[in-house]
Amino acid sequence: MIALLVVACEVAFWVLLAAGLALRYVARKPQLGAAVLLCEPLLEVVLLVVTAIDLKSGAEPDWKHGLAAVYIGFTVGLGHHTIKKVDAWVAHRWFGGPPPVKPPKYGRARAVHEWRTAARWILAAAVALGLLQAAIWYVGPGGDISTLQSWQQKMGLVIGINLIIAGGYTLFPKQAPKDADADAVGREPADRL
């Protein structure tokens, strides 16, 4: 039942997002659209409550309970950013809005972008880790918590990977091609002279 609820929450996330954007742009009711989008967190509250009730009623913790915690964490960490990106894309694609801002490609600006992205993923994993730990404490020492601990290890891996990627862009920043620099200022690169 928990796995189906996670799927239902994911589907409902996109349905609410589509409804909110339709109200905002098609019906020209931006406040009502925003109100619909603000209902998104209720999905996670429902999933959290149902998962807690399932565990309280004696269900053995398994991968589905871990998946619920991870889903909630990732929605907290990435949901707002996803909504903003989709909103900008819809506004541009169908309603004459400005094009979405593209991430920088080179140098320090790219490193800062990567750290912001890593921060969102790390927040998602940290929330999931916290919920998983709360579930472990909730179940207590008498229950089998190995699957929940397995999910915790995966979230630790997510944090590590994001730190490595962002750190890589910081320590080894990608440089703009020499030709791009020369073309940007309107002169021929030195090797073409």
Instruction: Please give the pLDDT value at position 98.
Output: 95
* DSSP letters spanning 108-167: HHHHHHHHHHHHHHHHHHHHHHHHHHHHHHHH-TTS--HHHHHHHHHHHHHHHHHHHHHH
> For residue 164, what are its two tokens?
């490595």
Phi/psi class of residue 103: alpha, beta or left (left: φ > 0; alpha: ψ in -120 to 50)? beta
**What pLDDT digit, counting tens, does each position of 66-96 carry?**
999 999 999 999 999 999 999 999 999 999 9
The confidence score (pLDDT) of residue 186 equals 40
Q: Is the pLDDT of residue 139 over 90?
A: no
Q: How far is CA 52 from CA 60, 127, 131, 145, 156, in A?
A: 12, 16, 10, 14, 23
pTM for the model stands at 0.86
Q: Tokens at residue 69, please?
A: 């915690």
Count of all residues that appear for the chain in the document: 193
pLDDT at site 178 = 84
pLDDT of residue 180: 58
Amino acid (one-letter) located at 86: V
pLDDT tens per residue, range 171-187: 999 898 887 554 444 44
3-state secondary structure of 23: helix
Q: What is the mean pLDDT of the chain?
A: 90
Average pLDDT rounded to a whole number, residues 39-62: 91
Contact status, residue 144 vs residue 61, Cβ threshold 8 Å = yes
Helices vs. strands in the chain: H and E counts, helices first: 7, 0
